[in-house]
Amino acid sequence: MSVAVKYHTVIIGAGMSGLAAGIRLAYYEKPVCLLERHTTIGGLNSFYRLRGRNYDVGLHAVTNYAPPGTRTGPLAKLLKQLRLRWDDFDLAPQNGSSVVFPGHRIAFDNDFASFVDDVCRQFPQQADRFRRLVAHIGQFDETSLTQPQTSARNVLGEYLGDLTLIDMLLCPLMFYGSATPHDMDFSQFCIMFKSIFQQGFARPLKGVRQILKALTRHYKELGGQLKLRHGVRQIKTDGSRAIGVILDDGREIEAEHVLSSAGLVETYSLLPPHLREGEAPAERQPRPASNLCNGSAEASPSQVKISPGEVSFNEAIFVLDCQPHKLGHDETIVFYNDADRFHYEPPADPLDLRSGIICSPNNFRYADGAQLDEGFVRVTALANPDFWMSLPDEEYVDAKAAWGRRMAEAAVRHIPDFREHIIDTDIFTPRTIKRFTGHPNGAVYGAPHKVLDGTTAIDNLYLCGTDQGFLGIIGAMLSGITMANNHLLR
């Protein structure tokens, strides 16, 4: 017979946000237990071994880069809050990235002034307007938990008079964080603008492993419990209060608080049936951009139509027999779009090859000239979740491979042809994401509606992670920290 342990908090999901929240709680001596359904940590940002090679999934680059010794900004705040040292993440800055559209190329590295100058050179007519927009973004408090949702396209349209420039600014930010098709919330736009253009990209030599292992080691040293292969089937309630969880195998764990990184819809679906009034309908709800302004950030989820999100991707990871540099490719990330306008939405086709992301994890300035043993090119494109979910098993593998070849074909319009150098390929689809994260539709960035204050209709049940709404890897960790501070450590 097992002894009933009562935790201060159980956290659902051992991804970036759950681990960060866990560290805060464990540091302040709260009995805390992290429950992860899968055999490994990380959730959306994880790693695996396949045919003798290490792969990363999720993380292309850590955003919000700041050099060692920086005392301000999200990365410094995060390290302080977690009592980690800068070296624990071992971040190496990017070589440089670009946004490439027909007739225009905007380059950026981790020097914000040169990015602003490049935009002004590419769009001289828009230069003054763009600088005014930058000033507006600079003074905008995107960390406030009470910002109303506003359409980024509307705000950009007030400042800028060039649709191509608006699309080019949105392209990398949407690809790296927008749960909303066509548009994004302006507060989220500011988070992403600052984290990508202003602060920039970096990566640990060992990839996402480095970060996840630093977090896990620290969490365990502080006395936190981590239980893998412990899926949560239901959140236990007493009246309108969460009191613990029931595991997939029927065992129960008692806790004073439950913090869920499972997602908004996913968390509601874990409640006993009579408390699920906020649950999303079975079919996906199309959410036109105009809906962005309707739900206020503070509205409780039961008062708004919540949908699980539908923006998902395929990613092909190509392993090369040489470094990309040998082929003349030094750029870290290329965000490309070949169409007149940038279409950020689930495509009608299995994949939308008009736009995409080309990332090479080799192309960072690793300390002491260190380098990955093999070359990698990762190509990411918007995917149609229904197509990949409903494909019969016997066709799935072939479809992945065939579309993988088309992704490479699209990529080599923008970087040197690497196809003859491919020695192995692995591909994920929305189906893979659903399998490992539990997000319906394989929605990478979760629900279009974010709950910034992390509260739910249930007492002592809080959200953290993607659907709370701080974006990116650093954002995910800050989400866990902020929710732990605001709701669990007061």
Q: Which one of the spans 116-124, 324-332, 463-471, 479-487 is the region binding another protein (CB under 8 A)? A: 479-487
Comparison of 382 and 483: residue with beta carbon closer to another protein = 483
List 225's β-bridge partners, or say none.
33
Q: Binding marks (x or -) toward another protein, 85..104, rule CB under 8 A?
A: xx------------------
Alpha carbon distance 463, 480 (integer Å): 9
Q: CB of residue 71 vs another protein: minimum separation in angstroms?
A: 4
Q: Is 76 in the site for another protein (CB under 8 A)?
A: yes
- The number of residues that bind another protein (CB under 8 A) is 16
Burial class (CB in 10 A: 0-12, 13-18, 19+), 449: buried
Out of 4, 52, 69, 392, the residue judged to bind another protein by CB under 8 A: 69
Q: CB of residue 104 vs another protein: minimum separation in angstroms?
A: 38
Q: Is 489 in the site for another protein (CB under 8 A)?
A: yes
Comparison of 154 and 485: residue with beta carbon closer to another protein = 485
Q: Is 81 in the site for another protein (CB under 8 A)?
A: yes
Q: Which one of the spans 80-88, 261-269, 359-367, 379-387 is the region binding another protein (CB under 8 A)? A: 80-88
Q: Is 222 in the site for another protein (CB under 8 A)?
A: no
Comparison of 28 and 366: residue with beta carbon closer to another protein = 28
Q: Is 72 in the site for another protein (CB under 8 A)?
A: yes
Structure tokens at 68: 């060692």
Output the CA angle 266-268-274, nearest 5 degrees.
140
328: left (phi over 0), alpha (psi -120 to 50) or beta: left
Q: Is 83 in the site for another protein (CB under 8 A)?
A: yes
Q: CB of residue 330 vs another protein: minimum separation in angstroms?
A: 32
Q: Is 77 in the site for another protein (CB under 8 A)?
A: yes
Q: Binding marks (x or -) toward another protein, 24..63, rule CB under 8 A?
A: ----xx----------------------------------
Give the residue carrying structure tokens 């593998």.
397
Comparison of 69 and 281: residue with beta carbon closer to another protein = 69
Residues from 419 through 438 that contact another protein (CB under 8 A) = none
Q: Which one of the spans 134-142, 201-209, 373-381, 478-486 is the region binding another protein (CB under 8 A)? A: 478-486
Q: Which one of the spans 66-74, 182-190, 314-322, 426-434 is the region binding another protein (CB under 8 A)? A: 66-74
Q: Is 80 in the site for another protein (CB under 8 A)?
A: yes
Comparison of 70 and 114: residue with beta carbon closer to another protein = 70
Burial class (CB in 10 A: 0-12, 13-18, 19+), 29: exposed
Output the CA angle 122-162-96, nearest 5 degrees.
35
Q: CB of residue 157 vs another protein: minimum separation in angstroms?
A: 33
Q: Which one of the spans 71-79, 166-174, 264-272, 352-360 is the region binding another protein (CB under 8 A)? A: 71-79
Give the residue carrying structure tokens 């600079």.
138
Q: Where along the sequence are the contacts to another protein (CB under 8 A)? A: 28-29, 69, 71-72, 76-77, 80-81, 83, 85-86, 481-482, 485, 489
